[in-house]
């Protein structure tokens, strides 16, 4: 389907398909998608092939870490495999990008658990669609270690994130001595992944117990 009301198809069908697919990416509108598509047309075949191969390898080589459900190229991600991390703290986040943001702050040295979303009934997302049950099992199964002493809930400070935090807090309160939430410093309605290092550092340092 041509994008213009004319008898002449200005944009080739293959380019139209590419633009349509690019528009599906977050933050990419019709104009940005068109610019990207025409940029790729002008780019050397070698660079386009490299992009295509990297996309294929991305889907084929990335999996969820079996422990924290972060994205990983192996069964266990680098953070879960690291012996230098604190085994007694778990930071619960909505998405893998939140881990990247918190790690940039350089304050938290514990482990993570990725929910892969937040409770959003209007969108049909309930606890069953998230990695909540896996978190509960993780808190129960300590493999003979001293166990988890603190769970930091770092869901986004919006309606969905707050609802998810309260739901998780009620479930895990009997399982761990301390349940905390990121402190003020993160604005209401903001996302963890977009917060700067100083804001995240202060939020982690000033966390409060539920």
pLDDT at 98: 95
Chunked mean pLDDT (size 10), the chain, 210 residues: 58 87 91 91 90 83 91 93 94 95 92 96 92 93 68 91 94 93 72 76 74
Q: Pseudo-torsion of CA 71, 77, 79, 81, nearest 10°?
A: 170
pLDDT at 15: 87
Please state the domain extents for the chain: 13-61, 83-209
Q: 13-61 with 83-209: one CATH topology? A: no
Quick one: angle between helices 159-172 and 132-140, nearest 10? 30
Q: Which CATH class is domain 83-209?
A: alpha beta
The fold for domain 13-61 equals: Helicase, Ruva Protein; domain 3 (1.10.8)
Q: Pseudo-torsion of CA 93, 96, 97, 101, nearest 10°?
A: 60
pTM above 0.85, yes or no: no
d(CA 117, CA 160): 9
How many helices (DSSP H) and strands (DSSP E) are in the chain?
Answer: 8, 7
């Amino acid at each position: 389907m041509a994008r213009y009301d004319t008898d002449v198809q200005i944009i080739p069908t293959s380019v139209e398909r590419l633009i349509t697919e690019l528009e599906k990416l977050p933050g990419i509108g019709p104009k940005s998608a068109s610019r990207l598509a025409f940029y790729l047309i002008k780019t050397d075949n070698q660079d386009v092939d490299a992009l295509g191969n990297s996309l294929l390898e991305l889907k084929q080589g990335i999996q969820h870490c079996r422990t924290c459900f972060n994205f990983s190229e192996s069964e266990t991600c680098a953070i879960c495999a690291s012996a230098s991390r604190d085994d007694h703290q778990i930071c619960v986040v909505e998405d893998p990008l939140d881990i990247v943001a918190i790690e940039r702050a350089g304050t938290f040295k514990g482990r993570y658990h990725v929910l892969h979303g937040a409770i959003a009934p209007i969108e049909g997302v309930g606890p069953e669609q998230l990695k909540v049950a896996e978190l509960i099992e993780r808190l129960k199964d300590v493999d003979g270690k001293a166990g988890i002493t603190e769970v930091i809930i770092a869901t986004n400070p919006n309606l969905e994130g707050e609802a998810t935090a309260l739901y998780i807090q009620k479930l895990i309160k009997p399982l761990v001595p301390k349940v905390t939430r990121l402190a003020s410093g993160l604005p209401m309605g903001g996302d963890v992944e977009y917060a700067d290092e100083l804001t995240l550092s202060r939020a982690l340092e000033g966390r409060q117990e539920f």
